[in-house]
Amino acid sequence: MAEGVVESKEEMKKRMERIKKGEGQGETGKKLKETKEKTEEKLGETKEKTEEKLGETKEKLKETREKTEEKLGETKEKLKGTKEETKEKLGETKEKLGETKEKLGETKEKLGETKEKLGETKEKTEEKLGETEEKLKETREETRERWSDIKENLGDVKEETASQLEKYQRESEKEGKNPAEKFLSDIITGFLQKTEDVNQAMVERTGTLIPIPLTDVVETDDSIIIMVDIPGLTKEDIELGISQDSVEITATYEEKSLPANGKFIQKERGYGAVHRTINLSTPVNVKKASASYKNCILTITLPKKQKEMTKITIQE
């Protein structure tokens, strides 16, 4: 049997018997004795190692058992806590369920009230619809009567208009104008009068008024000339903007400071910015435009934009 191999108890017993029988047989007995001693020594070492490992195994088994018992205790504790939490949450859920049932009952009650109100609203709507149809019928009858009156009055208006037109033509002939010129002149006169009335009303209301710059626009064959009355300013107080089809003018009147301990007894002069936009009848050359301000009159000269002609060679 090779070294390092642990023999079974039965094999070891047989070996010992063979060794006892051959102890006195010379050199062979001596070798058997040595083998017996080595075997006993190895058996002792194996026993010690086995006992040592058995002790370690018992120790580990004890530690494992303690840890298992400890974890089992923790698990029981957690399970107990979970059970209590579950019981508490179940109680809360039941309470919420009760509140939900109560709210559901309230909702059903409100739904019944809403249905009742809807029925009342429907009745009132049908009643008002009947009244509306009745009023509509009456309105139609009144409309027919009024339309008849309008037709009668329209004839009277036509006669009155023809009479006024005749009168207007006679007045135009007396003034030496045709009816269109007199009509336009009357409109302008009326507009200026209304403008003056508005300005006067603003003066009476606020005590101040910024005058709108009066403007003349003159057109020649090659340019448009604009003359604007802007009294009481310098050219630095006037802003001018020009595009191909319009001119914008802004004049700023700065309020003068009062003398020491001074106060207004009457205030009619206006202060601030006034704007005027003038639309042009034809495109102009903005780059060649010029302006001057002299004797309270702003003069703007705008050369008309010339049409560009491209010559084309006629081929054979």
Q: Could you read off the pLDDT of 185-231 as tens digits, one per residue?
A: 667 666 655 655 565 555 455 444 556 788 999 999 999 999 999 98
The predicted model scores a pTM of 0.35
CA 237 to CA 251: how far, in whole Å?
6
**What's residue 256's pLDDT?**
76
Q: pLDDT value at position 282?
A: 86
Q: Tell me, what's the pLDDT at 157?
A: 81
Distance CA 170, CA 63 (A): 135
Instruction: Tell me the C-alpha distance between 315 and 193, whole Å.
Output: 65
Banded model confidence at residue 41, pLDDT cuts 50, 70, 90:
confident
- Opening angle at CA 48, ends 44 and 52, nearest 5: 170
Residue pair 274/214 in contact by the 8 Å Cβ criterion: no
- Using CA atoms, how far residue 29 sits from 8, 13, 41, 117, in Å, is 23, 17, 18, 125
Which pLDDT score is estimated for 273? 83
Query: Taking residues 56-70, what's their average pLDDT?
Result: 90
Maximum Cα interatomic distance, the chain, rounded to a whole number of Å: 184
Pair of tokens at residue 116: 């009742």
Per DSSP, 269 falls in state: B
Q: Residue 245 in 3-state DSSP?
A: coil
| 175-183: average pLDDT | 67
Q: Computed from CA positions of residues 37, 43, 46, 51, in that sequence, does the dihedral angle turn out positive or negative?
A: negative
Up-side HSE of residue 272: CA atoms within 13 Å toward CB?
A: 8
